[in-house]
Amino acid sequence: MISVGLIGGSGYTGRKLIQYCNLHPEISNLKVYGNTTVSKTILEIFPELQNEVSDSEILPVDKLSFDHDVYFIAVPHGEALKYVPELIEKGKKVIDLGGDFRLTNNKVYERWYKINHTAPQLLSNNVYGLADLPTTDYTNAQLIANPGCYPTAALLSLVPFVKNYTDEIISVNVAAYSGTSGAGKTPKSHLLMSEMDGNVAAYNLGAHRHEPEIMQELAKNGFNSLFAFATHLLPIAVGIYSTSFIHTKNKIDKEKIEKAYKEFYANSNFIRLRTSPPQLNWVVNTNYCDIHLSVRDNQVIIISAIDNLIKGASGQAVQNLNKMFGWNEGLGVKQGEKYESVF
């Protein structure tokens, strides 16, 4: 049994982590740390979780206890840099849901996040925790960088193709769509219902921080072709829908591509290969990533759908915890699916 410290438990991803930690049979103790919510209780912030989770006070993060075995960090980017170095030095295991440890080059981080990276020495030994890839290596993992929500959706759908057909690829273009919870709980005027209801809007074109993350991970699998990434907001709270358009030098048989995907994901419990394009409704409130492929001439279209707060954040984080400890990857997460959330 382990004790868990959750830094940033009052946000959207923190809420899911509280649910999963309460359901997890190997977690005996959970303490939640916060910033502006300190001294409120979990159930004051999330009354809908009554009878589902144990209540306790949110503790001040500046009085963080180092008694826990594992720390989930679910705070805005830049903030994890304040806590992770000391936790690592004290031998603790850390799973960071933010972007501070995902990019392996601190200069690339600084360019895209406009923040000075104060712990570049930790960037080479961490694990990029794309939990459903059979190639993710958890040997001696101490710091896991939980992938971003868009990168999770895009990479799970693209990595098997890139691995098998790198030399065939002319270009990959990704159009991805997210619900508004992807931006967190802090109020922002452009996310008000009166702005987003009935609306769709592209944003951060050419400037989204998830673009270098996707390119970094595709490059690890041999990708060095043209790439473009466009992000859009949908008038919904939860979900990410990612459509990748790939142009290839030659036509590749659909059956061959599908076979490659089936083999690659043969032991991945949370990947579902679909014969028709998935709908967000199929994955919201689950830890699944649904993937569908279509091929015509030299054009391959690959679609994936996930819940950004679960597969794109907290579900994957708990999956990473389980893999770190060698437990069944569904512990805590799978049981969570019977719960209907407010999202």
Ligand X SMILES: NC(=O)c1ccc[n+]([C@@H]2O[C@H](COP(=O)([O-])OP(=O)(O)OC[C@H]3O[C@@H](n4cnc5c(N)ncnc54)[C@H](OP(=O)(O)O)[C@@H]3O)[C@@H](O)[C@H]2O)c1
Q: Which amino acids are annotated catalytic?
A: 149
Per-residue contact string for residues 289-308; x = within reach of ligand X by CB under 6 A: -------------------x
Nearer to ligand X, 97 or 246 (CB): 97
Pull the structure tokens for residue 77. 């980017």
Residue 114 found at the interface with ligand X (CB under 6 A): no
In angstroms, the CA 62 to CA 120 distance is 23
- Report the chain's C-alpha Rg in angstroms: 19
Residue 250 identity = N
Residue 212 found at the interface with ligand X (CB under 6 A): no
Residue 173 found at the interface with ligand X (CB under 6 A): no
Pull the structure tokens for residue 154. 């895009």
Residue 182 found at the interface with ligand X (CB under 6 A): yes
The 3-state DSSP class for residue 319 equals helix
In angstroms, the CA 145 to CA 76 distance is 14
Per-residue contact string for residues 2-41; x = within reach of ligand X by CB under 6 A: ------xxxxxxx-------------------xxxx----
Candidate ranges 85-93, 180-188, 259-267, 335-343; the one touching ligand X (CB under 6 A)? 180-188
The answer to whether residues 215 and 162 touch, using CB atoms and an 8 Å cutoff, is no
Candidate ranges 128-136, 177-185, 198-206, 276-284; the one touching ligand X (CB under 6 A)? 177-185
Residue 151 found at the interface with ligand X (CB under 6 A): no
In angstroms, the CA 241 to CA 305 distance is 5
In angstroms, the CA 318 to CA 323 distance is 9
In 158-270 the beta strands, taken as DSSP E runs, fall at 169-178, 201-203, 226-233, 240-248
Binding residues for ligand X restricted to 61-90, rule: CB under 6 A = 61, 74-77, 79
Question: Shortest Cβ distance from residue 331 to ligand X (Å)?
Answer: 20
Per-residue contact string for residues 125-144; x = within reach of ligand X by CB under 6 A: --------------------
Question: Shortest Cβ distance from residue 81 to ligand X (Å)?
Answer: 11
The backbone torsions φ and ψ at residue 159, rounded to the nearest 5 degrees and listed phi first, read -55, -45
Which residue has the closest beta carbon to ligand X? 11
The answer to whether residues 311 and 270 touch, using CB atoms and an 8 Å cutoff, is yes
The residues binding ligand X (CB under 6 A) are: 8-14, 34-37, 61, 74-77, 79, 97-98, 148-149, 181-182, 184-186, 308-309, 312-313
